[in-house]
Amino acid sequence: MLIVMRKLFKSFERLMLALLGCLLAVAGRRRVVLGDWPNGDVVEAALSALQELGAENLGAKPVNFPVDVENLYFRVKGRRVRLWVEQYGDVTLWGPRAVVSELAGRVAEKIAPQRT
């Protein structure tokens, strides 16, 4: 029964994330999952890519979730971007579509040599 519930939850989660992606696209925003933490140095690659683009660190804000999450905010090209790091989970970048797409490409370039 537990396996069936887990599969059902995963299906529901995929559906809701697809709906979220559509809603963000309408607003000119984007959400990109960069990888998972702590594998692959994804956070370090993301911070390096942000630094290359001259990002200003706006600090971290606490999140009241039952899981440990680090919510880091940056200003890149005059636009606010959020780096969401779940402890032993996904590393996600949120923000304006153009900036997030550029950052995701740079992060992918940085972690690609490590994975081959």
Q: Give CA 44 to chain center in angstroms.
A: 13
- pLDDT for 48 equals 92
Reply yes or no: is the peptide bond before residue 38 cis, omega within 30 of 0: yes
Q: What are the extents of the domains in the chain?
A: 29-115
The reported pLDDT for the residue numbered 65 is 67
For residue 77, give the 3-state DSSP assignment.
Answer: coil
d(CA 72, CA 36): 16
Q: How many angstroms separate the CA atoms of 43 and 110, rounded?
A: 11
CATH architecture for segment(s) 29-115 = 2-Layer Sandwich (3.30)
Residue 51 has pLDDT above 90, yes or no: yes
Tokens representing 98?
Answer: 């153009």
Residue 9: DSSP 8-state: H
- pLDDT tens, 74-116? 999 999 999 988 888 888 898 998 999 999 999 989 887 655 4
